[in-house]
Every structure is written in C-alpha cells, then in structure tokens.
Amino acid sequence: MATQILMPALSPTMEKGNLSRWVKNEGDKVKAGDVIAEIETDKATMEVEAIDEGTLGKILVPAGTADVAVNTPIAVIVADGEDAAAAAPNQAASPAQQNKASQSAPPAAPGDAASAVATPKAAPSAVANPPQPAATPVPELAEASAADVEMVTMTVREALRDAMAEEMRRDGDVFVMGEEVAEYQGAYKVTQGLLQEFGARRVVDTPITEHGFAGLGVGAALAGLKPIVEFMTFNFAMQAIDQIINSAAKTLYMSGGQMGCPIVFRGPNGPAARVAAQHSQDYSAWYSHIPGLKVVAPYTAADAKGLLKSAIRDPNPVIFLENEILYGQSFPVPKVDDYLVPIGKARIARPGKDVTLVAWSMGMTYALKAAEALAADGIEAEVIDLRTLRPMDTETIVASVKKTGRCVVVEECWPQSGVAAEIATRIMENAFDWLDAPVARISGRDVPMPYAANLEKLALPSVDEVVQAARAVAYR
C-alpha cells in the first residue's frame, strides 16, 4: 500500500517552505523515523521522516524547490514488493499545481499512516491567527526631516539587526549578550550576522543563566560598557527581574546620581502562537510600573530601528519589548545614515476625528484594522501608536482625546493594573471635561494563556471587539 509523504509545517504559522535536499534516493529502503529529506524556511530547518516502512518509491518534488505549500505530497513510500511507478500519483506536477492540489485536498489522516486518507470528523479550529498589519502601513516620516526621504522595505527583524550593527560600528563599548545570540544567529534570528561582523568578544553566547547574565550586564554597564542583553523571550526575564529592577533601575538613585546604568534589555514579548501559559505573556505593564526604567514597545520596522538605536545610546536602562509575530512583517524604513526615533514620543499612525484608539506593538495590528473597518462605516478613528510606555507621551494622547472626546485602549496584557488602566487615569486627570464617554479598554482575558487553539483565540483581543468598543463610546 502506497503512503504519501506530505510537506510538513515547521510551525503553526508556516504555509510554505523550501525542499532543500533529499537525504534518501528513489529506491532506498526506509524505516519509520528515518530522515528522508530536509526542508527549510527563513527561520528554521526541519527533517522530514518516513512515516512507515517500505521503499522510497517516487520523489514528487525535487530538491531545491522553493515555496512548496504545506501538505503538498512530496514523495511516495511503497510497501515492499509493490511497484513504485504504479504507486506514484500524477507525475511531475509543477509546484503551482501541487499548491492548488493541496488546497483542495482533505487533510491527511492521522492514525495508521498506511491507511487511506480520511477527513477528520472534528477538524481543529484554525490556529489562533492574530491579525496581520494593515496592507499599507502609514509611512512613518515624523522623524525624517524631509518628506521625500527614500524608503526601503524591511522586516522588523532586519531593522533590529541593522540598529544593533550600526550602533556597534559607532561605539566600541556596545556589545550583545544572551542565549544563542552568536553561533546560532539568534533563537529568532534577530542577531543574524553580528558574530560574523563583530566577533565573539562583542557577540557573546551565554549559558542558560538569566539571573546571572542580567546581573553581569548591569555590572558591566556600571563599569561604563553599553550592553545589549537579549532575553530569548521576556518570559525568561522573570528569572532576572530582580537584577533589572533592584540593580539596573534603582542604582542611579541610590548612588545619588553617580552610578548610571546604560543597558538595553531586549527580546520578544507578548503572546506567541500556541506556546501556552509559561511562554505567552505580555510584560508591558510590569516594566512600565518601575521608576528608573524606560520602556519601549515599537510596532513598525522604522520605529524598531530608530528606537533601538536611541535605546542603545540612552544613558539609562531601557526595556525594549519586541514581538515575535511582528518580526517577519515588512514596513518602509527611511534610508538615512543615522535614523533615530526619540524615546517618549507617541506617533499618530492614522489621523481621525471621531474616536481615539491607543495601542502599541502587536496591539497596533488590531487598532489599525479596526480603524479601517470603522472608516467603512463613516467613523474616523485616530490611531495613536504609543511606541514608548515609559515615559508615557500623555500630551499626544490628551491632545487627541480633546479632539475626539472618546478613547479606546488596546492591549494584550491582563486588564488589572494594566497599561490601559494607566492611560484611562491620565485621560481622566487631564481631559475629563472633554470626554463624551468613559474610556474603554480591550485587554487580554484575565487568565493564564491556554494552549488549546479555540481557547487561545478567546483569550486574545480581537479586531471585532475593538470595533464594537469604538462604536459603543461613539454611540454609533
């Protein structure tokens, strides 16, 4: 009985990948678990294994084929004694045809791999799919002096890498440290190429000892170096939060201004797809609570670049909250020599007069989509990308609320003592008389992040909720 081997997914969000090479050849005997091919995406490599015993009858997708859709049949395994040629389905389909075929094909059966393909009775709900950034993000030009600055398109990941590389070229005291930042090129590939350019003295792989290397980084900063400490994710910074708060944030004050601590703690923050409670959490509110820290959370690639450069130059400890889901998103970035974005300034991402939406980082994807949906109904939302959580740009928020009289805050963190709670308070303190409705907030649900796809979706904010909240405060 012939068994098809399908193009596997490396991650819940992967849709296609490259078939880099075949480890086995047609006619080779294989056993369940034998590696038969290698596939890769921009982020990772994975081995494809035989799912049953037999002979690799036919290779359907040749090595070197790019953009093979997930679930495309890539090879056929035939049971011993079976005719390989007869077992092969339509030969030599082009990748495009396979792509189409895989879209209409029913999902492959689990259970006995050698049995016929069956459609699962209860298909899993779609992987929680956070909204993608609006198709054309409003170009960020506020910081570029001329409106006709040339723009280049790059991903947030590339922008962060470029920011670090530029600052490391500029200042020999800047170095990067963290788990897998050097030889592995970064767990999320943000430090790609830095080891090659700057060497192991300045791009330092650490053991898995967050509390230790965060403290070491603070010590190095007290001595005048400018460390960039990468946390593989901010979930693991909880191991180190004592050093961040007690040592990095408070030492300047405790020393009467003698001991500055120029350090950046950066890494992905916030919910990621299907990694459950211990790996999926937004720390925006945690760090924004702390005097002595600056806290930055960019959305666009331009802001990621300009703000990270500013953070590295800042003489204070800066918490730089990135987002794994945004790493691969592309945005226009001004092509200027030294692109800096000031810490502490929000950005009007979309002007409007009817309701103010405030968001940052991943929250911006919800806000921008909601604004588009509201525009279709004649409600003009003004979207503020906060960019920095501490010090918070109260002025920009208040000016907008004085214009619109209404405000909805979008955040992925938990509601209690969250950033939205702080924003609502500031609006009340500074623009109470201008408000036409109470400030509304859309937050993550007040629960640890569940693993199950359906529950995860329910635990996160949605565009629809933002739209509903905006309608409610606008009484429309």
Partner 1 sequence: MASQKKVAEASPTAPRPSILPLDAGPVPDLGRDADLKAFRDMLLIRRFEEKAGQLYGMGLIGGFCHLYIGQEAVVVGMQLAMQEGDQVITGYRDHGHMLACGMDPKGVMAELTGRRGGYSKGKGGSMHMFSREKGFFGGHGIVGAQVSLGTGLAFANRYRENGGVCLAYFGDGAANQGQVYESFNMAALWKLPVVYIIENNRYAMGTSVSRATSQPDLSKRGASFNIPGELVDGMDVRAVKAAGDRVLDYCRSGQGPYILEMKTYRYRGHSMSDPAKYRTREEVEKVRVESDPIEQSRARILANGWADEDAFKRMDAEVRKIVNEAAEFATYDPEPDPSELYTDILR
Ligand X SMILES: Cc1ncc(C[n+]2csc(CCOP(=O)(O)OP(=O)(O)O)c2C)c(N)n1
How many CA atoms, within 13 angstroms, populate the side-chain half-sphere of residue 266?
A: 33
Side chain identity at residue 291, one-letter code = P
Token pair of 308 as six digits: 């990270």
1 near partner 1 (CB under 8 A): no
Nearer Cβ to ligand X (9/275)? 275
277 near partner 1 (CB under 8 A): yes
Nearer Cβ to partner 1 (33/89)? 33
**424-452 burial string, b = 16+ CB within 10 Å, else e?**
beebeebbeeebeeebbbbbbeeeebbee
Nearer Cβ to partner 1 (48/302)? 48
Cα gap 240→276, rounded to integer Å: 21
H-only helix segments in 38-155: 84-87, 95-104
Query: Site size for ligand X, by CB under 6 A?
Result: 6
Q: Which does 34 bind (CB under 5 to 8 A by kind): partner 1, ligand X, none?
A: partner 1
Q: How far is the CB of 449 from partner 1 (least distance, A)?
A: 9
Is 279 among the residues known to form the active site? Answer: yes
150 near partner 1 (CB under 8 A): no
H-only helix segments in 11-150: 84-87, 95-104
Beta bridge partners of 356: 382, 407
One of 208, 254, 447, 458 touching ligand X (CB under 6 A): 208
63 near partner 1 (CB under 8 A): no
One of 239, 246, 330, 430 touching ligand X (CB under 6 A): 239
**Are 176 and 154 contacting, i.e. CB atoms less than 8 angstroms apart?**
no
456 near ligand X (CB under 6 A): no
**Are 242 and 211 contacting, i.e. CB atoms less than 8 angstroms apart?**
yes
Residue among 210, 382, 411, 456 flagged as catalytic: 210
Binding residues for partner 1 restricted to 397-416, rule: CB under 8 A: none
Nearer Cβ to ligand X (187/248)? 187
* Cα end-to-end distance, the chain, whole Å: 62
Q: Which does 311 bind (CB under 5 to 8 A by kind): ligand X, partner 1, none?
A: none
Q: How far is the CB of 212 from ligand X (least distance, A)?
A: 11
283 near ligand X (CB under 6 A): no
Is 289 among the residues known to form the active site? Answer: no
